[in-house]
A and B are shown apart, each in its own frame.
Chain A
Amino acid sequence: MISMLYFVVESMGSFCSRQQPLNEVDSDENKQAAKIDSRIAEETKAEQHIHKLLLLGAGESGKSTIFKQIRLLFQTGFDEAELRSYTSVIHANVYQTIKILYDGAKELAENEPNSLKYVVRADNKEIGEKLSEIGSRMDSPCLTKEIAKEIVTLWNDTAIQETYSHGNILQVPDCAQYFMENLERFSEVNYIPTKEDVLHARVRTTGVVEIQFSPVGESRKSGEVYRLYDVGGQRNERRKWIHLFEGVTSVIFCAAISEYDQMLFEDDTKNRMMETKELFEWVLKQSCFEKSSFMLFLNKFDIFEKKVHRVPLNVCEWFKDYQPMGSGKQEVEHAYEFVKKKFEELYFQNSKPDCVDRAFKIYRTTALDQKLVKKTFKLVDETLRRRNLIEAGLL
């Protein structure tokens, strides 16, 4: 408040000084002030031309993967140093994964009715205990060939496989299979992660990360300038910092549609899809996004595709009125359209009448697929450019 008052007094002062008679205007001080003013005006103008995009969504919805994809597509990508920096992350991910599976098998063996199928073979138990202990450490050791072999052995244990296929109540990461399949490569002495590996790597985002980029159009003219922000997805005090993003051009909300049968990391009694639903509702109601376009990325379609056949959508309360139809690809499409419709209804229920001009588009994505992300982003770019022209009255 005080600083505001100071500012007002200051500007009043400079306003008065502009009214000075001509012979005093040439003083250096005034020249300086004018220079600074024009610099500020220029930079503000430049800022206004940067479209700000905010990635939002629940934890593990794919926001950071999208972020990485944009880096790979529109910036120089990852250099070797950065790729190397992911080695320890990937190794840690491997240990975490196998720990979750082993501990999970033990838990299921105790609690589930057909407990026998979750009981690990006697000779694998020692490996399991050892790996579980490693996985709980803050700093995991390097992944050596020997340990990798042990992990493979444990992974191939039928109990672990059973656990993996019923992994929805545990916190098994989606890329478990990818990690397990590539263990040999990961344990090489001179292992440098590939782009694919980096995309799968799982690091919980804390704080805010941003990148600025410019998707170059086909005519090679310089396109719009975008700045993409990625914020952490876990439950924390969102309401405190969300208003800092007031007036962003677009909110890109990521929702992993494959999670309809999974529970939250922070609270394993809460269904992840319900959390996403509540978060989306909350975001829609924020007045700071009243003018922002909403791009809804229904993500992890590749996992959704496979899951729909095994696990009916109705297990999620939000989708309890789902009626399956058809089989094979038709069934998948039908299920997808149902989910899409639910999100659409949610959007309109939670958008005030004066937000009706806000753009709202839904995209089906698989964040790990670079080609798809590129195509999707092309469409997002087109929409935002058209919006610009419409707002400028040129369309």
Chain B
Amino acid sequence: MPQFQQHASWRLEGGGQVIDLETAVKDGILGGGGLPSGKDGTLGAAAEKLDLKKTIEELDSAAEDVPSVFICPISLEPMVDPVTLCTGQTYERGNILKWLSLGHLTCPTTMQELWDDAVTPNRTLHQLISAWFSQRYLLVKKRSEDVQGRAAELVQSLKKVKGQARVEALKELQKMVVAHPSLGNALADSGGVALLSSLLGPFTSHAVGSEVIAILVNLSLDSDTKASLMQPARISLVVDMLNEGTIDTKINCTRYIEMLMAEKSFRCEFMLSLSLLVALLRLAKDKRHPNGIAAALSLLEAICSHEQVRSSLVSVGAVTQLVELLRNLSPEGSVPALHILDDLSTIPEGLSALKDCPQTIPNTVRLLMRASEAGVQYALSILWAVCKLAPDECASLAVEAGLPANLLLVIQSGCNPELKQRAAELLKLCSLNYTTTLFISKCKLTRTIQ
């Protein structure tokens, strides 16, 4: 290292010495992260003195590796205007002044009493902080431009290549989009999103289609794009991939459709085919992948809010499959399933399917005890509907399953009054066929609860 006149000798950790500000930051003595130097080694010299506060805010995501000496001990944020006390400790001006104004006359970190309440601006530290953040800002900018440049390259290549090369390009683009969320806007502006949409068609292979969906699902798309994606051939393609893909592809497709459904222009009679419903039910039953189950149930829940689709859902055997599923779901996980079954109970076919399924009452009763309030609401609603339909059959089944005891727990719990009312009505319905004594003994209720 060249010999320079040292203005102040002060040791740093690791034994190095500060030569000049730019070198210190450039060579990463403060852990600046090995910034690449420009052609003439003066990346630092080109750094503009940007507004520090704005820069810090923009770089918020890189907060982990900010050198600790730049952090205010009070707020744990990087200091924009560092000031030093007579004890030699440095704080953010606003924070330490507030501390002092509250009447404390001590140094927050050393707990020493202050013999002098003056705060001195620490210009050296300020310059170091400014330089470090400027450098970092430029680096991130450059990287993001690199990323955008690479993404643009990939999009261009997609126009030309086919087959396996296309799949590889899409895979790389997908990784980039996940790693750099800001890429989404750049893609939309440059026509990349439109290109990706155009790759989806009736003859798109699974390999290409699954990668395109994996990208699109990570972007926020505008209404026009979504409308064009709702063409029947494109939806069919997604449904096919939901049926045949890996678990990741299936989950992506599920989330993708959920995203499209949120649009006003979504026409459920056309978009929600039987194949889709069957594929979702299959995904919901796949015990190997809990994420898949959750995603499928979430979409089915959203689908069920459209009344026209409910009878289709019942016709593919959803009721039996979902009731069986209840047994294995956690209390939180069961809420969507209960919601779906509750929605299906509003149509005659759904209700009779619920009644005919022998597991409906036992599985629902079992959840009453463990579910959250939302779950309890749906469970009660289902049980009420089923018992109302066939009181004689169901009342005894319910009693066998231990419903009355659970109902009493609900009534005594801290849930809202409507639910308690519901539970009470249901209890009455169950007890209609039994004399009081018989009912109580059947339910093994204690005298006190009586």
Contacts and interface: CB of A to CB of B under 8 A. Distances in A.
Interface of A: 218-219, 333, 337, 341, 344-345, 347-349, 353, 356-357, 359-362, 364, 375-376, 378-379, 382-383, 386-387, 390, 395
Interface residues of B, number: 22
B273 A364 contact: no
B23 interface: no
Contacts of B246: 395
B315 A382 contact: no
A376 B236 CA distance: 15
Given A337-B232, A361-B240, A219 B206 contact: no
A250 to B, nearest CB: 14
B274 interface: yes
Contact of A359 (B164, B236, B244): B244
B243 A359 contact: yes
Contact of B317 (A344, A353, A359, A386): A353
A326 to B, nearest CB: 12
A386 B206 contact: yes
For the complex of A and B, list the 7 residue pairs with the smallest distance between their C-beta atoms, beginning with the closest: A375-B203, A218-B163, A337-B232, A348-B274, A344-B274, A382-B205, A382-B206
Given A333-B232, A348-B278, A379 B270 contact: no
Contacts of B243: 359
17 contacts: A218-B163, A218-B164, A337-B232, A337-B270, A341-B273, A341-B274, A345-B274, A347-B274, A348-B274, A348-B316, A349-B315, A357-B282, A359-B244, A360-B275, A362-B236, A375-B203, A386-B206
B33 interface: no
Interface string B9-27: 0000000000000000000
B207 interface: yes
B244 A356 contact: no
Contacts of A382: 205-207
Contacts of B274: 341, 344-345, 347-348
B203 A348 contact: no
Interface in B281-316: 282, 315-316
Nearest to A360: B275
Q: Which of B207, B236, B282 is packed against the most chain A CB atoms within 10 Å?
A: B236
B202 interface: yes
A214 B244 CA distance: 23
A379 B232 contact: no
Interface string B263-277: 000000010011100
Contacts of B236: 362
Contacts of A378: 203, 205
A244 B291 CA distance: 42
Contacts of A344: 273-275
A347 B145 CA distance: 52
A365 to B, nearest CB: 10
Nearest to A362: B236
Contact of A386 (B163, B232, B244, B270): B244
Contacts of B275: 344, 360
Contact of B202 (A348, A364, A383): A364
Nearest to B232: A337
Interface string B193-205: 0000000001101
Contacts of A357: 282
Interface string B298-338: 00000000000000000111000000000000000000000
A348 B207 CA distance: 27
A220 to B, nearest CB: 12
Given A218-B164, A348-B278, 8 more contacts: A218-B163, A337-B270, A341-B274, A344-B273, A344-B275, A359-B244, A382-B205, A395-B246
Given A345-B274, A360-B275, A383 B244 contact: yes
Nearest to A371: B203
Interface string B224-264: 00000000100010001001101000000000000000000
A348 B270 contact: no
Contacts of B203: 375-376, 378-379
Contacts of B278: 348, 356
A349 to B, nearest CB: 8
B203 to A, nearest CB: 5
Contact of B205 (A219, A347, A348, A379): A379
A395 B240 CA distance: 16
Nearest to A361: B240
A301 to B, nearest CB: 11
Interface in B139-193: 163-164
Contacts of A386: 206, 244
Given A218-B164, A359-B244, A383 B206 contact: yes
A386 B245 CA distance: 9
B315 A348 contact: yes
A357 B207 CA distance: 21
Contacts of B232: 333, 337
Contacts of B205: 378-379, 382
Contacts of B240: 361
A379 B232 CA distance: 18
A353 to B, nearest CB: 6
A347 B275 CA distance: 10
A251 to B, nearest CB: 17
Nearest to A349: B315
A347 B205 CA distance: 24
B309 to A, nearest CB: 13
B322 to A, nearest CB: 14
A345 B64 CA distance: 56
A101 to B, nearest CB: 35
Contacts of A375: 203
Contacts of A348: 274, 278, 315-316
A375 to B, nearest CB: 5
A357 B317 CA distance: 14
Nearest to B321: A353
Contacts of B316: 348
A383 B204 CA distance: 12
A348 B276 CA distance: 12
Contacts of A364: 202
Nearest to B270: A337
B282 A356 contact: yes
Contacts of A353: 317
A218 B162 CA distance: 10
Nearest to A387: B244
Nearest to B205: A382
A289 B274 CA distance: 21
Contacts of A345: 274
A375 B205 CA distance: 10
A337 B267 CA distance: 13
A348 B243 CA distance: 14
A281 to B, nearest CB: 16
B280 to A, nearest CB: 12
Nearest to A218: B163
A22 to B, nearest CB: 48
